[in-house]
Amino acid sequence: NKFIVPPPRIVNREVVKPLLCGPGPCDYWPSVAEALSKPVLTPICDEFFSVLDEIRAGLQYVFQTRSKLVLAMSGSGHSGMEAVISNLVGRGETLLIASRGIWDQRANIIANRYGIKVETISIPMNVTFSAEQLEPELKRLRPTAMFITHGDSSTGTLQNLQGLGDLCHNSLRFSFRRYGALLLVDTVVTLGAVPFFMDEWGVDGVYTSTQKAFSGPAGITPVAFSARAEEKIKTRKHDPPFYFDIKLLASQWNCYGSTRTYHHTMSPPLFWALRCCLQEIAKETLPASWARHEATTARFHKRLREYSFEFLVPKPEDRLATVTTVVLPKGYDYMEFVKTMRARHNILIFAGLGPTVGKALRIGLMGVNSTIQVADAVAEAMADTLRALKKSSL
Is residue 153 involved in binding ligand GLV (CB under 6 A)? yes
Q: How far is the CB of 164 from ligand GLV (least distance, A)?
A: 23
Q: Which of 98, 161, 102, 165 is nearest to 134 (CA)?
A: 98
Q: How far is the CB of 213 from ligand GLV (least distance, A)?
A: 12
Q: Are 157 and 151 in contact (CB under 8 A)?
A: yes
Q: How far is the CB of 186 from ligand GLV (least distance, A)?
A: 10
- Rounded distance between C-alpha atoms, residue 249 and residue 263, angstroms: 7
Q: How far is the CB of 44 from ligand GLV (least distance, A)?
A: 32
> CB-wise, 353 or 381, nearer to ligand GLV?
353
Element spanning 205, H or E? strand 205-207
Is residue 353 involved in binding ligand GLV (CB under 6 A)? yes
Handedness of CA 385, 387, 390, 392 (dihedral sign): negative
Bridge-based pairing state of the strands 323-327 and 310-311? antiparallel
Is residue 351 involved in binding ligand GLV (CB under 6 A)? no
Is residue 369 involved in binding ligand GLV (CB under 6 A)? no
Q: How far is the CB of 32 from ligand GLV (least distance, A)?
A: 19
Is residue 24 involved in binding ligand GLV (CB under 6 A)? yes
Is residue 202 involved in binding ligand GLV (CB under 6 A)? no
Is residue 222 involved in binding ligand GLV (CB under 6 A)? no
Bridge-based pairing state of the strands 220-225 and 205-207? antiparallel
DSSP class of 4:
S
Helices (H) and strands (E) counted in the chain, each on its own, are: 13, 15
Is residue 23 involved in binding ligand GLV (CB under 6 A)? yes
Q: Which of 269, 361, 229 is nearest to 42 (CA)?
A: 269
**Number of residues this chain uses to bind ligand GLV (CB under 6 A):** 6
Q: Annotated binding residue at 362?
A: yes
- Residues lying near ligand GLV in the complex (CB under 6 A) are found at 23-24, 153-154, 350, 353
Known binding positions: 362
